[in-house]
Amino acid sequence: MLQRHGLAFVLSGPSGSGKTSLCRAARDQLPGLTYSVSHTTRSPRPGEVDGEHYHFVDEERFEAMIAAGELLEWAEVYRHRYGTARATVLSLLQAGRDVILDLDIQGSLALRAAYPHTRLLFVLPPSRTVLEERLRGRRTDPGTEIDHRLSKALVELEALDKFDYFVENDEFARALQEVGAIVSAERQAVSHLVEPTPTVRLLFGGSHGQSHS
């Protein structure tokens, strides 16, 4: 049997698109997916739990992680920094486990550059009006911050062509079903299989893997 690389599925999109909720629902409902919890320097929102939603750290600790090369990728988003722990993610992927992550645009592209077996899914709100309603409905950010996020969302949409898939999050259940279909299809592909081991090459007839009757 061929060895298998784990796949990294990254959900990205504007703040308020629902990517984080989709990511966690996919982890809970799709078998074999491990959710990677990011580190962040921002303060917890009401109801968020350290180690479950994010690893909340201060600027000094985050700087130390960067200096030590502990982060696979990191980016500054809305004046706060977010990063993905290198050791945790790569150990899972190298063991053949599939990982699902919730990253911003910068982080998504950085992860794919570092790990080619990465599939990027862009989560779209159905309209600007709905996006604004979702952001204002959170009641966790001041009005100026919401305006900043809306302006940034228009810029982020320009990155659509760099993504492998896009999912319109109009009806949550349907969007989650689309994510599941993408995960299933990618798992059945062969592009993420590792080169055969020497033992496999020997069993199947040399380096070309030809079978003999």
Q: Is 76 part of a structural domain of the chain?
A: no
**Does residue 87 form part of some domain?**
no
Domain that holds residue 152: 8-36+98-208
The pLDDT score that the predictor gives to residue 208 is 43
Q: Is residue 134 part of a domain?
A: yes
Query: How far is it, in rounded angstroms, from Cα 53 to Cα 35?
Result: 10
Q: What is the domain-level CATH number for residue 155?
A: 3.40.50.300
| Beta bridge mates, 165 | 121
Q: Identify the segments of the chain with pLDDT beneath 70.
A: 1-3, 137-145, 148, 153, 190-213
User: How many domains, the chain?
Assistant: 1
Within a 10 A sphere around the Cβ of 122, how many other Cβ atoms?
25
pTM: 0.74
Q: What are the helix (H) ranges across the chain?
A: 19-29, 59-67, 86-94, 105-114, 128-138, 143-156, 172-188, 198-203
Q: Which of 7, 3, 10, 26 lies closest to 187 in space, CA to CA? A: 7
Q: Flag whether 83 is in a domain.
A: no
CA angle 1, 3, 95 (to 5 degrees): 135
- Domain contains 43: no
**pLDDT at site 193:** 59
pLDDT of residue 91: 87
Residue 195 belongs to a domain: yes
What pLDDT does residue 133 have? 77
**Residue 82 domain-assigned (yes or no):** no
Q: Is residue 62 in some structural domain?
A: no
